[in-house]
């Protein structure tokens, strides 16, 4: 999944980006409100982490303008302020969740996972597709009861397919959600990772779950296929 981190404190940006990438997320960053506003309007994100105390344009103003203009991406707000009125104000403007500094990375990741599931209208952290089980919280995948080891990028791709189970996702959709603005891979890397996934998920099983729709894209088998 792809997230936008808008934060001006460089040591925190570095630490958060490392933690998010270890979680398998693609991360774009912005260090002020104007840059963050521009990126949120010109790319597709599964969630946004927004610091409220930003240079050039403060986070509450950025968030207010997004909601006014119909940008519905789920937003997790970060702030050093800890009063109830500050939190209420942020939530009333359109924040989906709120985290007060200092915080533990594990809590931020858990809240972010919940927002990403919500953005894809998935409530249960465990997704089941036929005999495949994907635990999006523990990042554990099993098929037929057997554990399958996936790299962070492979897990991210499988999760994205599962969020759109039974629906075709194009290569460009996969690219937009799994690769950040700094990635230097070529577009055929999507096909490469689909092949990796098929080897791990489908090989040795009678029913293939990862399907190709020629000229369209890929899909994870739904109930009707």
136 with 54, same domain? no
For residue 8, the model assigns a pLDDT of 94
Do 116 and 137 contact (CB within 8 A), yes or no? Answer: no
Q: Which domain holds residue 134?
A: 126-220
Gap between the Cα atoms of 126 and 220, Å rounded: 15
Tell which residue, 169, 163, 158, 156, has the closest CA to residue 219: 169
Let me know if residue 225 belongs to a domain: no
Q: Do 156 and 178 fall into the same domain?
A: yes
State whether 42 and 147 are in the same domain. no
End position of a domain, from candidates 119, 146, 163:
119
Long-range contacts of 121-124 (CB under 8 A, 24+ apart): 122/163
pLDDT at 55: 95
CATH of the domain at 78: 3.40.50.2300
Residues 100 and 178 occupy one common structural domain? no
Domain check: are 104 and 130 in the same one?
A: no
Question: For the chain, how many structural domains are there in total?
Answer: 2
- Distance CA(14)–CA(29), nearest Å, equals 10
List the strands of the sheet with 126-129, edge to edge. 126-129, 132-135, 140-143, 146-148
CATH number at residue 183: 1.10.10.10
Contacts for 186 with CB less than 8 Å, ≥ 6 apart: none
Per-residue pLDDT of the chain in tens (225 residues, 90 and over written 9): 899 999 999 999 999 999 999 888 999 999 999 999 999 999 989 999 999 989 999 999 999 999 999 999 999 999 887 677 777 888 888 999 999 888 999 999 999 999 998 888 888 889 999 999 999 988 999 999 999 999 988 999 999 999 999 999 998 888 888 877 777 666 688 889 999 999 999 998 989 999 999 889 999 998 765
Do 103 and 72 reside in the same domain of the chain? yes
Residue 45 is predicted with a pLDDT of 94
In 69-121, which residue ranges form alpha helices assigned H by DSSP?
Answer: 84-93, 105-119
- Pick from 30, 24, 23: nearest CA to 4: 30
pLDDT of res. 91: 84
Residues 92 and 169 in one domain: no
Residues 150 and 195 in one domain: yes
Record the pTM.
0.84
Same domain, 133 and 106: no
Residue 33 sits in the same domain as residue 62: yes
Asked if the structure places residue 158 within a domain, the reply is yes
Verify that 107 and 7 share a domain, yes or no. Answer: yes
Question: CA–CA separation, 48 vs 210, rounded Å?
Answer: 29
């Amino acid at each position: 999944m792809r997230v936008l981190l808008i934060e001006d404190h460089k040591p925190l940006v570095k630490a958060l980006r490392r933690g998010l990438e270890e979680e398998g997320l693609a991360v774009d960053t912005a260090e002020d409100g104007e840059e963050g506003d521009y990126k949120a309007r010109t790319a597709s994100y599964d969630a946004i982490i927004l610091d409220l105390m930003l240079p050039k344009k403060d986070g509450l103003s950025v968030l207010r303008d997004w909601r006014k203009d119909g940008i519905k991406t789920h937003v997790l707000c970060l702030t050093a302020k800890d009063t109830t009125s500050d939190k209420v104000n942020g939530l009333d403007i359109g924040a989906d969740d709120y985290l007060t500094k200092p915080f533990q990375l594990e809590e931020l990741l858990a809240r972010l996972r919940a927002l990403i599931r919500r953005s894809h209208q998935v409530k249960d952290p465990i997704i089941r597709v036929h005999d495949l089980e994907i635990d999006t919280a523990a990042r554990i995948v099993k098929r037929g009861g057997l554990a399958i080891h996936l790299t962070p990028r492979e897990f991210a791709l499988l999760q994205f397919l599962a969020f759109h189970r039974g629906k075709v996702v194009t290569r460009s959709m996969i690219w937009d959600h799994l690769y950040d603005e700094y990635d230097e891979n070529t577009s055929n890397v999507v096909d490469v990772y689909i092949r990796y996934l098929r080897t791990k998920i489908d090989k040795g099983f009678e029913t293939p779950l990862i399907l190709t729709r020629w000229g369209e894209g890929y899909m994870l088998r739904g109930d009707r296929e």
